[in-house]
Structure 1
Amino acid sequence: MLINKNTIVIGTKVVLVPYTFKHVEKYHRWMQCPVLRDETGSEELSYEEEIEMCESWRNDDDKLTFIMLSKEVFDKNKNEVEAMIGDINGFIHSEGIELSVMVAEKAFRGQGCAEEAVKLMSKYCQLTLGNDNFFAVINDDNIKSIKLFEKLGFVITEKMEVFKQTKLFNDKVKVEDKLVLDYYQTGEVCEDCP
């Protein structure tokens, strides 16, 4: 989405940066893992298709994506690719924003990174898009993800048996006031997708 093409969102555990061409190679490697694809409901793409997807995500009006970096790693080396641990996406629909989050790097799972990323994305969407209706559609066997969203106040509203998915909804996500959301426009136009 063009609104975040040069936006960085900074939390205490993660830093969210726009998905650009420099991230594609590592992201593509992650998505070669069938378990990750299954958990995220993703299709296997060729490298060229992933480049096209990067461009699409940057220009579509109904998609918002950030690459999730480990703040600790990024603070040490300032290298986005080395600090990459996952991503968070928002798909804009009439009923609200569909959130999906992935921590691809196993070493960073279970440390609260996905939880913070969802909170940061929710707050960012509230501030920039004026939208505070959120939902998630998660594969039924991805219990950890379902529990994460339930912990954040989402409630199961639909079981889609045909697709083996669960839909959770939260209107008026309450992100605690103590959550510090630093986000800024870098001032640079990042146009490194081919």
Structure 2
Amino acid sequence: MRLNQNTLLLGKKVVLVPYTSEHVPRYHEWMKSEELQRLTASEPLTLEQEYAMQCSWREDADKCTFIVLDAEKWQAQPVPTEESCMAGDVNLFLTDVEDPTLGEIEVMIAEPSCRGQGFGTEAALLMMSYGGDVQTDNE
């Protein structure tokens, strides 16, 4: 979704940034995990397919994807590289074209060291708030 292409959402534990091609190599490495494939009902993709998927998600009008960054790591770096701070992703899918207030949120905290710290909860809350704000702005 191009709507969020210049959006950064800052929480206490996580920072949400748009999913860009910069994130694809790390994301691709995560998705090689059989555990993550099973938990997300995903099939393994080639790196080239992963780049194509990132482009399609960016262009899709009913899908909004952010990469979840570890806020502490991100803020501690003088020049933060997002890839080194990546924890997972969060997606908002608009599920009813007739009622844009309905949607589905998916959260994946892929980085094992980031699990169990509330990153997923905060990412979901930030995404719900963002989705509500965007919907209000579009009315």
Q: TM above 0.5, one fold?
A: yes
Alignment deviations for residues 106-159 of structure 1 (CA, whole Å, 9 cap, x no partner): 1110100000000000000000124xxxxxxxxxxxxxxxxxxxxxxxxxxxxx
Match of 2:113 among 104, 107, 115: 107
- Where does residue 44 of structure 2 map in the other structure? 44
**Within-5 A mapping of 1:138-177:** none
State the superposition RMSD in angstroms. 1.3
Q: Which moved more, 1:38-47 or 1:120-129?
A: 38-47
- Where does residue 28 of structure 2 map in the other structure? 28
Distance in 1 of aligned mates of 2:110 and 2:129: 23
Size of the alignment, in residue pairs? 131
Aligned residues with identical type, % of pairs:
45
As a proportion of its length, which structure holds more helix?
A: 2
Alignment deviations for residues 12-71 of structure 1 (CA, whole Å, 9 cap, x no partner): 000000000110000000000010011112221111110001101111101100000000
- Gap runs ≥5 in structure 1: 131-194
As a proportion of its length, which structure holds more strand?
A: 1
- Gap runs ≥5 in structure 2: none
Amino acid at match of 2:2: L
Q: Which moved more, 1:89-98 or 1:99-108?
A: 89-98
Q: Give the TM-score, by structure 2 length.
A: 0.91
- Where does residue 126 of structure 2 map in the other structure? 120
- Where does residue 54 of structure 1 map in the other structure? 54
Q: Give the TM-score, by structure 1 length.
A: 0.66
Task: Give the 4+ runs in structure 1 shifted more than 2 A.
Answer: none
SS at match of 1:100: strand
SS at match of 2:55: helix
